[in-house]
Amino acid sequence: MAKAFLLFLLTCACLFGTTAAAQELDARVTVNHQQVQGTSTAVFDNLQQVLTEFINEHQWTQLNFRRSERIACSFNFTVQKYDEADHKLECALTVSATRPVYNASYTTTTFSTRDGNCNFRFQEFDKLEFRPEAIDNDLTAIVAYYAYLIIGWDLDTMSPQGGTEALQTALNICNNAQTLTLSARGWKSFDDGKNRYAIVNDYLDGRMEPFRKMQYKYYREGLDVMAENAERGRAAITEAFDLLAQAHNNKTMSQLPQLFTEFKADEIANIYQGHATQKEKEAVVELLSKLNASKNPTWNKIRN
């Protein structure tokens, strides 16, 4: 009897533990409304609170994440216009995510982008619900899209193309959001090379498979190895850049290589600066300059 009761307690503990550990994201949400004057701030404070709860308490996948494994991310909304009568907000949204580096106290950025087409309606005390089969709300569609994109990118850094299912869900959201009007520009194919549709569609394009391989090579075989063997980790990162160049050559119009090098530039420079051979440095600088010439001042630091 005692054994049966103990088994019951263990089963309950596992069930409750699984439920508590299911959420994937540890998001910090900010709503900056300094550009909007002459209106109550209550709606913005409520929006920030509701979004924080929605992102962090929603179970986005069937995967079980321990609390310590949740993906640290941020959603920073800058309100540019607010129509109080129509409850309409026009915002710019900056989204970023990080992950820890193995055997180090360092965290590395895995994703960062600015979305200038983040428009939606919100009334104070609105409840946010997301149903992937029925996309009818601009705000929840945008947030859910980025939630799945963050999860997919993060999983790709942990295992080869491990984020496919989450990324496919993000693409499905784009396809199902075509009837939305306020945030329409972000969902349209071929409308903008950096919009929501373009990012995930390019990411899943077979021609960009080297980009996904690059993710695993750069993070798991590169950064995660640096603490144990800096030379081996750096060599893997150099190989990752060859994959990045291959992805660019396969689909020259894709903005993904440029997006990656935008938010990784300083980190990359620090990896090579004062290390590596001069020959390796020159090869890396030449390759990265072809991918993103706007970062040449940063790439040139690698030569030091």
Check residue 22 and give its pLDDT.
Answer: 66
d(CA 232, CA 235): 5
Q: What are the tens digits of pLDDT across the range 21-70?
A: 469 999 999 999 999 988 889 999 999 999 999 999 999 999 988 998 99
Query: Would you say residue 5 has pLDDT above 70?
Result: no
The DSSP letter of residue 127 is: P
Check residue 1 and give its pLDDT.
Answer: 40
Check residue 132 and give its pLDDT.
Answer: 86
Check residue 120 and give its pLDDT.
Answer: 98
Closest CA to 57 of 75, 43, 70: 70
Q: Rg (Cα) of the chain, in Å, rounded?
A: 21
Three-class SS state of 160: coil
Bridge partners, 207 (sequence order): none
**Tokens 């709503």 sit on residue:** 31
d(CA 97, CA 110): 6
Question: Which segments within 41-193 are labelled E, that is strand?
Answer: 71-83, 88-100, 107-121
> What's the rounded mean pLDDT across residues 94-116?
97
Check residue 192 and give its pLDDT.
Answer: 81
d(CA 213, CA 216): 6
Query: Would you say residue 277 has pLDDT above 60?
Result: yes
Residue 72, burial from CB neighbour count under 10 angstroms (0-12, 13-18, 19+): middle
Q: What are the tens digits of pLDDT across the range 198-244?
A: 999 999 999 999 999 999 999 999 999 999 999 999 999 999 999 99
